[in-house]
Amino acid sequence: MEADWIEHRRSGDGELLGWMKPVGDGFVVVDLLGRTHTQAVDWLTAEESLDALGLSYLADTYELRLDDGSWLKVRIAEVSPTTIRLQKDDWGNSSATELYYSTHIPVSPDTLRPLA
């Protein structure tokens, strides 16, 4: 997140949905993972885009590139303005050892990608 990014919060509960990054005369929509979702658009379109995007992508399954170059199936456990905390997807096994990893925002598609 950069100093000039503008927070956009959901109207019902004030939950942070992402940011609007000023670019020229418009705004680029940025989600909580630091990924852009639009070209430069007007203010209203940026707000509508973030409202439509919501937070459902946080429940998706992702792949994290490990230091050895392999990919690990993970789920997002927590997101802060600077860090994403990921948990190894244990397929619902309640007796599995929980493994957590962290990466910085913005996240690169070479580091974290949606599970195909």
- What would the two tokens of residue 22 be? 């000023």
106 and 66 fall within a common domain: yes
Cis amide linkage into residue 81, ω under 30° from 0: no
Lookup result for tokens 């989600």: 31
Q: Are strands 112-114 and 100-104 parallel, antiparallel or unpaired?
A: unpaired
70 and 107 fall within a common domain: yes
Residue 1 lies in a domain: no
Domain limits for position 66: 60-114
105 and 65 fall within a common domain: yes
Residue 38 lies in a domain: yes
The pLDDT confidence band at residue 94, using thresholds 50, 70 and 90, is: low
SS3 (DSSP) at 5: coil
67 and 106 fall within a common domain: yes
For residue range 52-91, list pLDDT tens digits in order: 999 989 989 999 999 999 999 999 999 988 899 999 998 6
49 and 67 fall within a common domain: no
